[in-house]
Structure 1
């Protein structure tokens, strides 16, 4: 186990932009470097391990190769037994050497071990955490609670990340997170990110990168940071793969396959899947209404969701190795989704004495037919053996959704609505890496990200005619972003630094056809980044980062269409939104103490023009009755300060018991703000939002215990504390997941029983207060929302030409093997 921990340590401190400096003084560290290739194809072997054993102290050190097959390990001068290992390949012993100065072992060739090849597993089954200068990498691994799940389930199990009851993803309590797939925007995220993440199977995901202090090579979008989802792609020669199936209650069926075929010249990989899910959910809103501060009446809305989803997705890619240094990869992704959703909204009306005065049943039947297509092409050229590298990416995506819906009120057809959304996206990205000397590196790059989106939203009454206050609209949205960056990094003994500067030129055109209004927002901004790392010793390291970020309002926040499931509680976009800018600071510390792995971070963010959803009341004529309608829409508020700290811990008292946990506390302060709007009567209404100075926290605990008969039992507990904002108070939420796993057929198969939300408590509960301009109370809304009820599922996975890998380090999400810089 100690050797494995040291290997992970070497992997984590492997910086892509630096090699170790020479140090020949007696008693100081020397550097052992080299490169590992596959003997037949001469392709680099990533994650090959150099193992060093000091012949005097028997201390074991190690290093792991990067994507170019290169390793660089610091060690005290001395005599060492050395060997190079890679799972499925023959171990390569090296001659014992007494090393007193820097040593380059040159190129080391490894050959496949045909006798033990069937002991290799491509799909990693261990969960590890790798610490880099600007990010943490969480390998999905053997987390049973996500088996049969989706990308939202994976993200919700990553420290610092939360996924709320509606599927909104937040990082350290901030929902403005940039989500990338394999480092780029992707059709996998689709037009509506939360729905698409639910359709991306967890089994297709290899790891998640949490980037809280992004360097200049990353998009400036996302004030909270970036979540980069890395999909699986096989690395071992021959034909291999896995198939899996999931059944569950409420109704759930999933079939999937990950297939890979690799030779000396090509690597063919694919992910195929079908998912059917019936997703029951519910919500309740109880309104207490006032007139000039005097209690007037009550209204209760009970809503149930009956959702049926059929989703087909498939991707296929081919990587062709032009020569030992360069390759071309082309891939194609296709997804077809069909949803049939019923939202039943039962409303009861009460007078001031809570005597019932009437009721209404409103049913919305919405069907969704969506298609996403994406073509990608990548060219990679490792120009030389020193790390000089050029990559070029091209990407084209086409996403289309059609959403017709019928609304009945008390069994009478009331509305016939439809929304058609088409989006074309194009991407060009060029990155160049130039090593400077032995310990420094310069990176340059350009990216063009172009989007052209058209949305047509029509609302008609039961006879097909426009409503009196017609909320229909047609939107033509274009957003072009051109980015350029440069960054320079180096390592001086135990100290690392990375300085970067990125500029992004944004051109936005927004045309609202119904009102014949056109607006454009063009701006050029600079985004500096600074990252430092210091390795105190083998077990302790510090990181410090600064980054300027922004949040551009997405098209669904700009589009002023209204949700129609409820006539009295709606959401609409705001075409006047401006971007939010944030300066973010992050200080991190990681250490290992005996069987404990501990990590801690302090962070501070200052944001301007913060985008936040607020609620207003509009008086509308509904069925001949003047009724107060709650309208939620996003607005630019004043500045916000956010600070907090997070703590992660991992403790493995034995091979059969692994415990981990994380805790995150944050405080946010928003300045007071007044906003005005024009009511339907033409009156200007001013609403004042008081200063907000509130804090919240969330915590996770995870245990994995091996029971008799080698049954794995995993328990994951999460609690999110209460939180207030300018208008609402949100209650705390407690969630528990259970899973039991058993390997079968000589480890070629695994069966997992998973219970998600054991106590059925995953609900968002909140109270919202709305006031008149003179601070007179107008309405109180006590609400709860549950997107998906408790889910029980059974997952079966069968692997062919691969078995469960035994050679990778062990760890857990919430702490893991946290070393490196």
Structure 2
């Protein structure tokens, strides 16, 4: 639709230039300004068209379009005009016989949706999969065939600048210190990686990537913010979408989105059920070392995983338009999932000559259940002055995760069998209160202020039985309480081509880490200021540059804090550290955006400095299991990290039938730190963690429109090698493929996609720990997936024009400059 309006406006402007070029150039022009919004919700309409036709000289025609805030400014020759304001699927408004002989503000014009016209519109310009803006990137999920039948984790793995590793951990520009929001709010899931795997991709509308957020956002997340926006209905009347999916390995899914919108209210719901089997595999070949690094013996480990997950996701909500200026939105979210996971591990042992000695087999049968309930309420009040508004928001949620596992361990060396059981139950409650106030001051300036209170309690009950006997070192109840109160203010102004947004956020943190089994209580209180600044310069109407700065924080949580061991492996044990302090990041970003007719190019240089970085150190315990040393890994505030990089993203449409999107990121990491501990023999061991490394990743997506309404999409990704102080992660290439065809007069779409065509998406690592072990490992979290999906739309077109979602201030205002 944007392209259609741009083309229409360009034709109008060309006609204006052509006609006006035939006139005598002695006339003085006047400037006409105004704003166009949607009548019901008061949301601004971007790319709406304004046409001025002189009633005394019909050859005199002027025109233009609104910007991304619905504003317009058009120069016309003084005279009497018929003015037409219009937008596709809305009823046009005409102002007749308007005398324009001086600079005039026509005020705000509200256009009303035309349901009849909406159903008649068939040809619409398709929105690009990735929209590039100076301060963020917006990934439109509905345009990507590659993720049909997938999960939110699959969606993020297709977003520019974002990567998802084999275990579902999300990173932005190679930095895993990233904050994930859902509809502008912090995710209330205990494990965000697990939650993303249980949310169907079809429930997502778009993903916003903000690499250097302003002060209105939580300071959490040194690497930036990823905001996932869920689907909500938009059109008048009853409309919706139903998507059914089947795939191999065994996958079934059904998701439906239904919306009913009237003048006084808007009802919407999304319901989805998914059944997924995600088999995976891994192997590790290890050479164990003596203190002089000579070979002691060998162990080869192979692992197969069967992960069956059944999940149900639902939300139901209502926008209630109390009056023309006040909207009250209430949304209820419910997620439930259950998993049946089987992990089968074979460990083959060899002596120093690599002669086989014996085999151990560990089978981990895990049953997991998760339930999440959340209620969000938002009241938005728009005052008379355009842009003047108050938003009050509350979010209340509970989440429970229950995991029960039985580990059977057998050995051919002595024919012994041991059975261990682990219990890992977690409950979490999160309550959030927020108020945001926006006040325009004069022309081109704006003041904002707000409060946010985030109150969270997480309780982890972990216990282990070995052959029916409790194991004290593996049993504990950990209670984590977090209370964060924040105030922020920011002021933005625009002077000619310069726009500036200056902000300051203050957060007061009160953290309790309580080990209830040992009566060990730790409390940490601290408060910090987090300034932000964004400077934007409009070079011309198609290019701009920006310079931004922000200060961020990363608080340790969950597994990082729990000092009681995890029994997933009996020789490689992870132990948390309840005394961890937060890490702080200072981030600077220099960006440039350029648009051509067929190409949009965005590039940036960035530098981050993080102090008190969490570093995982490994040390020997002096304990051996069948001759294999038990090694503990634990996080500590060890180092200072310097991270710098360069990236670019581009959208290119060489032809109407071919769209290309590419993203490239190169980054450099330098870590300064060292660690000394006393080993089990009483000798000091020094570990130098100073290291420098570079890495890069790139992604290319091609979408081709073939005859007979068939679309073909290809996605290729390469993650470059990255070294660390104890080894390296090797480079990896993968590719996805998808085809789709519209049927039933464009009301339906059939899509076939293949994820990981070459079955090559793996995490491949080489590890070297002097005097301990040298190993090579490969881990494939999920094998190649083939999905077939069918989408059916009723009373809504395939490429419906998106509007900004109502409700949360953070969805509407993502660092936009006043203007």
- TM-aligned CA distance change 1:453 to 1:759, over 3 Å: same
Written as runs of structure 1 = structure 2, the 5 A alignment for 1:434-453 is: 434-453=439-458
Whether the 8 Å contact between 1:327 and 1:381 is mirrored in structure 2 is yes
2:47 aligned to which of 40, 49, 52 = 49
Work out whether 1:569 is the aligned partner of 2:567.
Answer: no
Whether the 8 Å contact between 1:283 and 1:302 is mirrored in structure 2 is yes
Moved more, 417-426 or 125-134: 125-134
- In 2: Cα distance, 1:153 partner to 1:457 partner: 30
Whether the 8 Å contact between 1:52 and 1:81 is mirrored in structure 2 is no
How far 1:153 sits from its partner (Å)?
1.3
1:639 is matched with which residue? 640
Q: Deviations over 1:441-475 (max 9, x none)?
A: 1101001100111111001112x2134x7222210
Q: Deviations over 1:16-73 (max 9, x none)?
A: xxxxxxxxxx9999562224343xxx4324435332469899997421564xxxx223
How far 1:210 sits from its partner (Å)?
1.0
- In 2: Cα distance, 1:820 partner to 1:537 partner: 18
Q: Deviations over 1:715-755 (max 9, x none)?
A: 01010100011212110111100000001101111111010
Work out whether 1:433 is the aligned partner of 2:407.
Answer: no
1:416 is matched with which residue? 421
- In 2: Cα distance, 1:385 partner to 1:339 partner: 52
1:746 is matched with which residue? 745
Written as runs of structure 1 = structure 2, the 5 A alignment for 1:89-488 is: 89-93=90-94, 102-119=103-120, 126-127=127-128, 129-130=130-131, 134-187=135-188, 190-293=189-292, 294-410=294-410, 412-462=417-467, 464-467=468-471, 470-488=473-491
Whether the 8 Å contact between 1:307 and 1:339 is mirrored in structure 2 is yes
Q: Secondary structure at the match of 2:197?
A: helix
- In 1: Cα distance, 2:459 partner to 2:549 partner: 37
Work out whether 1:780 is the aligned partner of 2:774.
Answer: yes
How far 1:113 sits from its partner (Å)?
2.9
1:800 is matched with which residue? 794
- TM-aligned CA distance change 1:130 to 1:716, over 3 Å: closer
Whether the 8 Å contact between 1:122 and 1:235 is mirrored in structure 2 is no
How far 1:516 sits from its partner (Å)?
2.3
Work out whether 1:609 is the aligned partner of 2:612.
Answer: yes
How far 1:74 sits from its partner (Å)?
4.2
- In 2: Cα distance, 1:472 partner to 1:420 partner: 12
TM-score, normalization: structure 2? 0.90
- In 1: Cα distance, 2:539 partner to 2:715 partner: 33
How far 1:683 sits from its partner (Å)?
4.1
1:558 aligned to which of 552, 558, 561 = 561
1:21 is matched with which residue? none
1:707 is matched with which residue? 706
- In 2: Cα distance, 1:127 partner to 1:6 partner: 16
- In 1: Cα distance, 2:29 partner to 2:582 partner: 51
How far 1:328 sits from its partner (Å)?
1.1
- In 2: Cα distance, 1:589 partner to 1:236 partner: 36
How far 1:399 sits from its partner (Å)?
0.6
How far 1:387 sits from its partner (Å)?
1.6
Query: For structure 2, which runs of at least 5 residues remain unmatched after alignment?
Result: 11-26, 54-58, 411-415, 804-814
2:56 is matched with which residue? none
Moved more, 735-744 or 325-334: 325-334
How far 1:783 sits from its partner (Å)?
1.1
Whether the 8 Å contact between 1:151 and 1:201 is mirrored in structure 2 is yes
- In 1: Cα distance, 2:544 partner to 2:199 partner: 35
- In 2: Cα distance, 1:598 partner to 1:491 partner: 24
How far 1:100 sits from its partner (Å)?
7.9
- TM-aligned CA distance change 1:145 to 1:171, over 3 Å: same
Q: Secondary structure at the match of 2:193?
A: helix
Alignment RMSD (CA, Å):
2.8
Whether the 8 Å contact between 2:572 and 2:630 is mirrored in structure 1 is yes
Whether the 8 Å contact between 2:9 and 2:64 is mirrored in structure 1 is no
How far 1:416 sits from its partner (Å)?
1.3
Whether the 8 Å contact between 1:237 and 1:262 is mirrored in structure 2 is yes
How far 1:167 sits from its partner (Å)?
0.7
Q: Deviations over 1:405-447 (max 9, x none)?
A: 1010129342011111111111100111111112111101001
Q: Secondary structure at the match of 2:268?
A: strand
- In 2: Cα distance, 1:482 partner to 1:27 partner: 56
Moved more, 476-485 or 589-598: 589-598
Whether the 8 Å contact between 1:404 and 1:418 is mirrored in structure 2 is yes
1:497 aligned to which of 497, 500, 509 = 500
- TM-aligned CA distance change 1:304 to 1:379, over 3 Å: same
Whether the 8 Å contact between 2:305 and 2:341 is mirrored in structure 1 is yes
Q: Deviations over 1:612-646 (max 9, x none)?
A: 33333333243xx3421233332222111111110
- TM-aligned CA distance change 1:254 to 1:93, over 3 Å: same
Q: Deviations over 1:646-676 (max 9, x none)?
A: 0112221111111121111110111131243
How far 1:515 sits from its partner (Å)?
2.8
Q: Secondary structure at the match of 2:233?
A: coil
Q: Secondary structure at the match of 1:117?
A: helix
The higher relative CO (CA closer than 8 Å, separation ≥ 6) is in 1
- In 2: Cα distance, 1:431 partner to 1:94 partner: 36
Q: Secondary structure at the match of 2:708?
A: helix
Whether the 8 Å contact between 2:130 and 2:651 is mirrored in structure 1 is no
How far 1:586 sits from its partner (Å)?
0.5
1:755 is matched with which residue? 754
How far 1:350 sits from its partner (Å)?
0.7
Q: Secondary structure at the match of 1:637?
A: strand
How far 1:495 sits from its partner (Å)?
1.0
2:651 is matched with which residue? 650
How far 1:381 sits from its partner (Å)?
0.6
How far 1:690 sits from its partner (Å)?
3.7
Written as runs of structure 1 = structure 2, the 5 A alignment for 1:490-569 is: 490-569=493-572
- In 1: Cα distance, 2:62 partner to 2:76 partner: 12
- TM-aligned CA distance change 1:386 to 1:159, over 3 Å: same
How far 1:101 sits from its partner (Å)?
6.0
How far 1:125 sits from its partner (Å)?
6.2
- TM-aligned CA distance change 1:151 to 1:655, over 3 Å: same
- In 1: Cα distance, 2:123 partner to 2:550 partner: 36
1:588 is matched with which residue? 591
- TM-aligned CA distance change 1:428 to 1:45, over 3 Å: closer
Q: Deviations over 1:144-198 (max 9, x none)?
A: 10111111111111111111111110001100000011111133xx111101001
Whether the 8 Å contact between 1:366 and 1:406 is mirrored in structure 2 is yes
